[in-house]
A and B are shown apart, each in its own frame.
Chain A
Amino acid sequence: MSGLGAAFSRLTPYNNSGGPGRWRYEVCKESVPFRGPQCKGAKPLANSDMADKDVLVDIFTRADLIMQSDIKFRQMIGAGQLQIVYYPVRGQEVVSSAMMAAVNKEDYLVTIYRGLHDQLAKGIPSKDLWAEFAGKMAGTCKGKGGPMHITHPETGVMVTTGIVGSGIPIANGLALASQLDKDGKVTVCCFGDGATNIGAFHEGLNMAQIWKLPVIFLCQNNLYSEHTPMAFATSSDSIKQRGEGLGMRSVQVNGNDASAMYAAAKEAVEYARAGHGPTLIEAMTFRFHGHLLGDTSHYIPKEEMEQAKKDDPMPVLRQQLLDLQVSESDIAAIEAKNAAIIEEASQFALDAPYPPGDEYRIDVLDVEIAA
């Protein structure tokens, strides 16, 4: 299998006296996921662990839509057609696609500002989502939320927050409602490694664990919180350790490996639905672009980025489909269909009208605000 692990190097100080900010990067040499402290618990890939063909096709279909959307957003913003703040998701497609392939439409999702991949994977129609990103009345939230605040209850997307880590306590509330209603739903709460440094993470996981809530905390660990490497700001070697410290079932997985990620997701979903409680999944991944579009990622060592791009999960997944005898033309048909969806959605977003200015008076409270 491919060398997915290389990018996920553990950062260690130059020497014992090296203060914060002075790190060297230990790049994994071997082509097995997650060497070093972060590798503990990650399953090595083997053919026997490969997910079913249909599942992988499903994951690929979602992931390709995400990848193409991300590319299109960056193109349009670069060309000045869209003037919005955008947090690229290229590189993290497989994590959310595999996770969302393991849940139902009715299950809830709470995510964060870097959420395009989660939202598309969960099933928000591209047209509605694109229109919201563009601030248009036809968007999911009438243009009042924007890219950082996407809500679409029809597909279970309940909250997208711009405040790092703050979705965790809210996900508990959604899961609490499911527990009390016995409706069998699970709540997936996505966040990055940086979110595990805010108090809400610790409060939220503690409460979820003592109340055995049907919630899955999916930490998409891309090793950087904004511009800061994980080792600089995070005291533990892994996020998994933090979950374990709170008494929670915690797993670390190569999130860029569709089969491994899907297996971890499915297990967590079954565990939650059976009433056993929450799981923290630390899914190792990487982002190929800066924190937000325009950020040059100067803080990511060149060799780390190069290795990550060599390990791009998308061509790996595509090759896996070919290996499973999915024909090139079938794959091309998926890609063409996604391209058409995005073409239509992006044009729709450009053409759709903005909301009227007076729209700000509505939805503040249950009554219209006078002025």
Chain B
Amino acid sequence: MSDTAEKPKEIMFAQACNMALAKAMADDPKVILMGEDIADEQGGGVFKVTLGLSERFGTDRVRSTPISEQAIVGAAVGSAMVGYKPVAEIMLMNFITVAMDQIVNHAAKLRFMSGGQTTVPLTIRTTTGAGTGLGGQHSDMLEAWLAHVPGLKVVAASNPADAYGLLYSSIMDPNPVIFIENTPGYFVKGPAPAPDHVVPLGKASVPREGTDITLIGYGSSISRCHGAADNLAKDGISCEIVDLRTIAPFDEETVLKSVAKTRAAVVVHEAVRNFGVGAEISSRIHEELFSELKAPVGRVGSGYAPVPFSPAIEKAWMFNQDDVEREVHKILG
């Protein structure tokens, strides 16, 4: 799974992440990886995202760690301050809760509190997402917590090519970046990126142009936005899709430009709707474009509950394509 292998036309999301890590490590000897079980001897990561990397780059640079999230992030912070570009893997996003002190009080603030004397160019890769039947403590989308902290960048890719380009940019970025992967999405295939494909942080994409309404999402929500847009087109509704790619700081310019054109918007994310990223984006749109909107900005998110275990309830809890379509119809009347 290294980038020296023959490139298939389509690759899986997990493969794209592996290729980006390999490229970053090959390009810069200061890129090091640490996390639980990530070296080949321990299996190359529970989702095999780091498979082959320790064999290629050695266990000095691809370090399996104890189950110690604070120690992992702390070691990443310290080494980042003195010239390294560490990529810490927090196996599942819920485990970030254990390391929040290191992330929020240290990674995010050391540049500021030192008056710019020290910087923390680290990347924390983590994965999460419902639909896997892992229940309440392995599936949460917690991006809003992190996006709320000044000093952190938060990134979520919606397809393999973007994952490749965004992860590479995250590693090379001089700021601490949280890179959120989607567990059920690891095995979704998409067009393979060119080896030098780089996606800049802070820039949204517009994968589908339309005229009636803008669907704004990121990560796993984008495929459902596409599905909804296809269905809505049958009803004569033309949807534009904005894929944020970087959640914080978000590309306000691209979002406002699109909504100024369509004059209607729905923000879609998997995280619970309450106090989510959708609230911030919706509010910004209202502040800037209130008088031009056809209707208030809609929000689609998951239910106000922990992620349930039973497939029947998990499905009911999680937002889906129908919710998006319903919201669009509500807004456009």
A residues contacting B by CB (< 8 A) are 108, 110, 139-145, 149, 151-153, 158-159, 161-163, 166, 168-178, 180-181, 187, 199-200, 203-204, 206-207, 210-211, 362-366, 369
Q: Is the pair B116, A362 in contact by a Cβ cutoff of 8 Å? A: yes
B115 near A166: Cβ-Cβ < 8 Å: no
Sample of 11 A–B contacts (CB below 8 Å): A141-B113, A141-B117, A144-B114, A159-B106, A163-B106, A166-B74, A168-B74, A169-B78, A174-B82, A178-B82, A187-B78
Query: Which residue of chain A lies nearest to B34 when distances are taken between CB atoms in the complex?
Result: A176
CB atoms of B116 and A363 under 8 A apart: yes
B116→A207 contact, CB < 8 A: no
Report whether B112 and A170 are in contact in the complex, using a CB–CB cutoff of 8 Å.
Answer: no
Chain B residue nearest in CB terms to A143: B115
A141 and B115 contacting across the interface, CB-CB below 8 Å: yes
Taken together as a complex, chains A and B put the C-alpha atoms of A171 and B77 apart, in Å, by 9
Say which residue of B63, B72, B175 sits within 8 Å of A366 (CB atoms).
B175
> Does B80 sit within 8 A of A, measured CB to CB?
yes
B interface residues, tally (CB under 8 Å)? 44
Which 10 A-B pairs rank lowest in CB-CB distance, beginning with the nearest? A173-B78, A169-B74, A151-B114, A142-B115, A141-B115, A203-B68, A203-B71, A149-B113, A173-B75, A173-B79
B window 90-120: CB within 8 A of A: 101-102, 105-106, 109-119
Find the A residue at minimum CB distance from B76: A173
User: Shortest CB–CB separation between residue B252 and chain A, in angstroms?
Assistant: 10
Across the interface, do A204 and B70 meet the contact criterion of CB distance under 8 Å?
yes
Residues in chain B near residue A170, CB distance under 8 A: 74-75, 77-78, 81, 102, 106
Q: Is B288 an interface residue (CB 8 A)?
A: no
Number of A-B contacts (CB under 8 A): 151
Binding site for A on B (CB under 8 A): 32, 60, 63, 65-66, 68-84, 86, 101-102, 105-106, 109-119, 150-151, 153, 174-175, 249
Most buried by B among A108, A161, A176, A366: A176
CB distance B175 to A159 under 8 Å? no
- In the bound complex, residues from chain A placing their C-beta under 8 Å from that of B60 are 180
Smallest Cβ-Cβ distance to A175: which chain B residue? B78
Chain A residues contacting B113 (CB-CB under 8 Å) are 141, 144-145, 149, 151
Chain A facing B: main interface SS: mixed
- Residues of the B chain whose Cβ atoms lie less than 8 Å from the Cβ of A159: 78, 81, 106, 110, 118
Residue contact B66 to A169, C-beta cutoff 8 Å: no
Known: A158-B81, A174-B82, A177-B84. A207 touches B66 (CB 8 A): yes
- Whether A363 pairs with B84 at a CB distance below 8 angstroms is no
Q: A180 to B82, alpha carbons, bound, how many Å?
A: 11
Tell me whether A363 and B111 are in contact (CB under 8 A).
yes
In the assembled complex, the CB of A196 is this many whole angstroms from the nearest CB of chain B, namely 14
With a cutoff of 8 Å between Cβ atoms, the chain B residues found around residue A187 in the complex are 78
B71 in complex: contacting residue of A141, A144, A169, A369, CB < 8 Å: A169
Chain B's nearest CB lies how many Å from the CB of A82?
19
Residues of B within 8 A of A210 (CB): 66
| Contact call B106/A151, Cβ cutoff below 8 A | no
Q: Which chain B residue has the least Cβ–Cβ distance from A151? A: B114
B residues near A362, Cβ cutoff 8 Å: 116
Q: Which residues of A contact B119 (CB under 8 A)?
A: 366
Q: Are B102 and A204 in contact (CB under 8 A)?
A: no
| Known contacts A140-B115, A176-B79: A163-B66 contact under CB 8 Å | no
